[in-house]
Structure 1
Amino acid sequence: MTDRSPLERTLLSVDGRGYGGYKKIAGSHRLGAFTLYVDKVQVDPFAPPSLMRLSVPRVEAGLPEQLVDDRLGRIAVGDFLTRAFAEAAHSRNASGDTGPRSPVSIGTPGQQVLERSSVQISPETVEARIAVELPAAGRKALGKKAVRLLTQQLPEIAAAALLHRSLDAQALEDHVRLYRDQEYLRRQLAEHHLVSFVGDGATLARRSGDSDRPLEQGVVAFSSPESLRTRFTLPSGREVSGMGVPAGVTVIVGGGYHGKSTLLRAMERGVYSHIAGDGREWVLTREEAVSIRAEDGRAVTGVDISPFIAGLPSGTDTAAFSTTNASGSTSQAANLVEAVEAGATALLIDEDTSATNFMIRDERMRQLIPAEREPITPFVERVRPLLTERGVSTVLVAGGSGAFFEVADHVIALQDYRLQDVTGHARRIAAEHSSSGTVSATAPNAAPSAGSSGRIFGSSRGRRLSQDALRPDGKTKPARAKGRDTVQFGKELIDLAALAQVVDPAQTEAIAKAMDRIAEAADGTQELSTLVAEIMDQIHQRGLDVLSPHRGHPGHLARPRAHEIHAAVNRYRRVKLAGGADAH
């Protein structure tokens, strides 16, 4: 191990020389109370930044034991320290002056509190994992500037962000308490037979379509209908009240721009906890709730969509359906079936992002196109069996059709962002249409409705990946994220834009690394669900570092849900199943 002076001398020796000289600083260096580990040095000024870690002994960090004595506490404290580090790094540039951009990055946490690789708290140390852009002029190293960056600025940032005496102690304690309360409430949802909880006073609207920050002007605070109001007492002693969205089939209705989709989006993001001030701190949804939409053009491999689509004119077997270019209806059917296969307990669906012919078929169309000539059984006819046979609830936004009134357990209406329980009124309307001779939404059609058991949704037939399922010819580099929406896997780009519940590029990077781990583990005998479950269990037991094939800095990672790992594998166009099924 070298001390600080040798690091300075090394950096000064490369000043003005080729950028490759920076490779000499790889290793560990003492910086006062901190140890700097340089795990990977960028190869040139235009390459990804160098990966480094700053470590300080726990006793020196001084974090209160009661805040980090459980897993939830360590996640919350790690999130708080990550934000503190990002703020400290942003406040100064490489010369130590205030500036808009820092060469030091620890990721960009958003409104959600996620388990991250950025700050790790062990019994012995607190460690920040960072990316550092080493200074250059053209392709020459600026060693003198690097001395200031690594030996002065980095310790200052670390001292401001990792030492308890430098932090707002009350804000840290509040952050941990809030996260523990949120996670407790989310765990209570299933026990109380709820899909989601939306707290009274919540701010659901966002500033704009491309911003996740809360709207600040013209806000209408959420208020639950009395019939659905639920109360919880939390571990901190705090009591919260709000709308409990019951398990079953819930339909959200209302005019355009009155807040239906805003409410559903808040519930989608409620699978994660949020920071104080977000407005959705008490919008909490079961972790297994999955947003479903149509996704024209996606690849589908070996998925049983026969409960929804069967008897295609082409004779295609929809019990093991594959295509490289799914239509709106087939893609939505596949998305739904895959979500259930991945363990979804609730589906969140907006008619605005759905294929109409997948969702409903009205009486006029039934008269024009007889049932025996229509291969699609609409979702309105499957939503109840999905609940009774598989225990999967549905929350649906419907603004243009009342077809789901007849099959809904609850109907809630939004007007000017204010909510009413209109279940009774909706049922009367459904009954009037039924008595007037309108065909019931649950009337059978020609599509197969069940096997010999009488069940529509049999037990899930898990798909097994072949041994070379994720090992394409010519793949020599690890999978990697390209922003939030894309994973590069070999030469293929996997489009994740339709996955509304991926909220951070660091989650996408973790998904990419998880795919590489699944590729290594697949042997042709295990189902995809088993392989993903094993990855998630390893993350739970050993942290996100388990996803990286290298020791040291694993990259900027945030924990994804199992559902999004499933979804990424399912969208890979060259995936192969045991038995030979593929999307080609």
Structure 2
Amino acid sequence: MFTSSQLKQQLSSINRKSYPAYKTLKGVYDFRDYQLSIDHVQGDPFASPSHISIRIPQSRAGFPDFCFASAETRTALQDYLLRKFEEQIAGYSFKAKGSGKSGLISTTHCGQEILDRTACQISQKELVVRFTVGFPANGRTINAFELEKIFFEFLPVCVQKSLYYKNLNKKAVEEVIFLAEDQSFIRKELTKQNLVAFVANGAVLPRQSGVSQKPMKNSVPFVSPLSLQVEMHLPHKGTLSGMGIPKGITLIAGGGYHGKSTLLDALETGVYNHIAGDGREYVITDDTALKLRSEDGRFIKDVDISLFINDLPNKKDTHCFSTLDASGSTSQAAGIVEGMEAGTKLLLLDEDTSATNFMVRDTFMQQVISREKEPITPFLERARDLYGECGISTILVAGSSGAFFHIADTIIQMDSYQVLDITKKVKDLCADYPLPPASVPVFSMPDFKRVMTAPAVKRDSYKELKLKTHGRDSFSIGKETVDLRYIEQLADSEQTAALAQLLKYAREHLIDNKKTVSQVIRLLEDKLKKEGLAGICSSSYTPCGLAMPRRQEIFSCFNRYRR
């Protein structure tokens, strides 16, 4: 470790030299109250900025023990500190002048969800914040005095104002921790009360727009129907009432634009905790919930879809089904089976984005095309089996087919964003519109013994495993692109970046053509539990741009990898 004085001397000695001389700065420097680590230096002022980290001993940061009571409270504190740090550095970004990205100071921009991120990590030992800095240059000549401003004038102020407990609003920190504990309490109560989701009265479900996840102003607050209302006695907020969605099959019906998909979207993102003021901070969903849709053209490898599709005309084996170009129905069937393999206990579906022939076959169609000529067993006829045999509940948005009313345990109507429980009314009507008798094939648990194979690769094969993330929707590994557009519960591009690192780590260390997909992912989860995301990073340092994905998204990513 070097001293901050030595950093000043080194900056002075390289001033006005060519840009690569910046690489001599790499190392750790003691600034008394914290350590500044220059982890990676960019090769050019127009290249991706340099990676910097700051480490503060917990003895100096001074956060009380109640902040570390659980993983949820620690993650919530990390999220809060990262937002405060970003606020501070935003005021100094580009105040140091130069060409290209000179003077840029940036870190992760957090959304409405609270995620475990590498950009800020805290333990009872130390607090680590990671960010990037564009090292200043004039053309490609080092401007060391501008970088000195960043290190010795700007950053010390940002660190003092945002990362020390004594300088923060203690009431605000306490509220962050208390909210995390209340959210964790509700998740545990879901199991105790036999529920799959909870939506608090007063929640604001609509979002500002399709590109903004912030709450819509002046929207209709959520109010639970009395028949579905439950009370949660939270440790900090006290008694909170709202709608409890019971286990089983729940149908959300209503006219177009009345709020069906908005409610489903809130339940999708309810697998994550949300920040205070989001409107959805007390919308809590079973954290194994999986949103499914049809995906024409997706890759499927060795999936047992015989539960839904059998006796194909080409005699293709659906007990071990593979295709490079799936249809809507086969993709949705594979998605459900892959979700079962991932341990999902709640399926979320929207009729609008589902394959019609996979979801239902009406009476007239069954008269025209006999069951012997139809290889698909529709979801309508399997949903009860999924719950009865596997304990997998379903929440389904339906707007056109009335057949689903017959199998639903709970039926919710959205009427101008008002929620009505119409279960009894609809069940009385079902007697007047009976479903025709159907001979459904016997339920058989799918086989999950899929071996994960991939071409052997040397660990130093850079080109073969080179990673590039394309926003939230996809990433490339080598020449192969993994398409994640329809993995709708990915909340952040940093989760996509983490999935890329997980897949690369698996390729390098775990895949041996013997382990199943489940075994590979279980080994990855053990690694993440012990070492966090830092344990799977291929670089010599931990970058700031990774966020922890759920188990469901890890499975979804691996299942879409064509190699």
What TM-score range do you get, normalising by the shorter chain?
over 0.9
Q: 1:490 aligns with which of 470, 478, 486?
A: 478
1:513 matched to 2:501? The reply is: yes
Give SS of 1:223's match: coil
Give 1:469 deviation, angstroms.
7.5
Give 1:86 deviation, angstroms.
0.9
Q: TM-score, normalised by structure 2?
A: 0.95
Give 1:544 deviation, angstroms.
2.2
8 Å CA contact 1:292, 1:335 repeated in 2: yes
Counterpart for residue 318 of structure 2: 318
Distance 1:249 1:80, change over 3 A: same
Distance 1:53 1:256, change over 3 A: same
8 Å CA contact 1:406, 1:427 repeated in 2: yes
Structure 2: how far apart are the matches of 1:315 and 1:48? 52
8 Å CA contact 1:478, 1:513 repeated in 2: no
Code of the residue aligned with 2:450 in structure 1: it is R
Counterpart for residue 178 of structure 2: 177
Code of the residue aligned with 1:172 in structure 2: it is V
What is the total number of aligned residue pairs between the two structures? 558
Counterpart for residue 165 of structure 1: 166
Code of the residue aligned with 1:484 in structure 2: it is R
1:522 matched to 2:511? The reply is: yes
Counterpart for residue 546 of structure 1: 535
Counterpart for residue 565 of structure 1: 554
Give 1:200 deviation, angstroms.
0.6
Give SS of 1:322's match: strand
Q: TM-score, normalised by structure 1?
A: 0.91
Structure 1 ranges of 4+ moved more than 6 A: 469-474
Code of the residue aligned with 1:84 in structure 2: it is K
Counterpart for residue 416 of structure 2: 416
Residue range with higher mean Cα deviation, 247-256 or 328-337 = 328-337
Deviations 1:416-456 (A, max 9, x none): 0001111112212222111xxx525xx126xxx13xxxxx1
Give SS of 1:204's match: coil
8 Å CA contact 1:96, 1:153 repeated in 2: no
Residue range with higher mean Cα deviation, 530-539 or 173-182 = 530-539
Code of the residue aligned with 2:484 in structure 1: it is L
Distance 1:379 1:514, change over 3 A: same
Unaligned 5+ runs, structure 2: none
Unaligned 5+ runs, structure 1: 451-455, 575-584
Counterpart for residue 157 of structure 2: 156
Structure 1: how far apart are the matches of 2:560 and 2:53? 34
Give 1:237 deviation, angstroms.
5.5
Give SS of 1:10's match: helix
Residue range with higher mean Cα deviation, 552-561 or 273-282 = 552-561
8 Å CA contact 2:350, 2:398 repeated in 1: yes
Give 1:547 deviation, angstroms.
1.9
Give 1:534 deviation, angstroms.
2.6
1:221 matched to 2:221? The reply is: yes
Query: What pairs with 1:359-508 in structure 2 (closer than 5 Å)?
Result: 359-434=359-434, 438-440=435-437, 443-444=438-439, 449-450=441-442, 456-458=443-445, 460-466=447-453, 468=455, 475-508=463-496
8 Å CA contact 2:305, 2:446 repeated in 1: no
8 Å CA contact 1:29, 1:36 repeated in 2: yes
Counterpart for residue 136 of structure 2: 135
Counterpart for residue 580 of structure 1: none
Structure 2: how far apart are the matches of 1:138 and 1:372? 73
8 Å CA contact 1:510, 1:558 repeated in 2: yes
Among the aligned pairs, what percent are the same residue?
Answer: 40
Distance 1:531 1:62, change over 3 A: same
Deviations 1:484-521 (A, max 9, x none): 11121111111111011100111111111111222211
Structure 1 vs Structure 2 CA RMSD: 2.1
8 Å CA contact 1:94, 1:153 repeated in 2: no
Structure 2: how far apart are the matches of 1:205 and 1:317? 44
Distance 1:145 1:75, change over 3 A: same
Counterpart for residue 31 of structure 1: 31
Structure 2: how far apart are the matches of 1:213 and 1:115? 20
Structure 2: how far apart are the matches of 1:410 and 1:486? 36
Query: What pairs with 1:255-294 in structure 2 (closer than 5 Å)?
Result: 255-294=255-294
1:536 matched to 2:558? The reply is: no
Code of the residue aligned with 1:536 in structure 2: it is E
Residue range with higher mean Cα deviation, 9-18 or 82-91 = 9-18
Code of the residue aligned with 2:168 in structure 1: it is L
Give 1:93 deviation, angstroms.
2.2
Structure 2: how far apart are the matches of 1:470 and 1:356? 42
Structure 1: how far apart are the matches of 2:464 and 2:79? 34
8 Å CA contact 2:452, 2:511 repeated in 1: yes
1:50 matched to 2:50? The reply is: yes
Give SS of 1:306's match: coil
Give 1:479 deviation, angstroms.
3.3
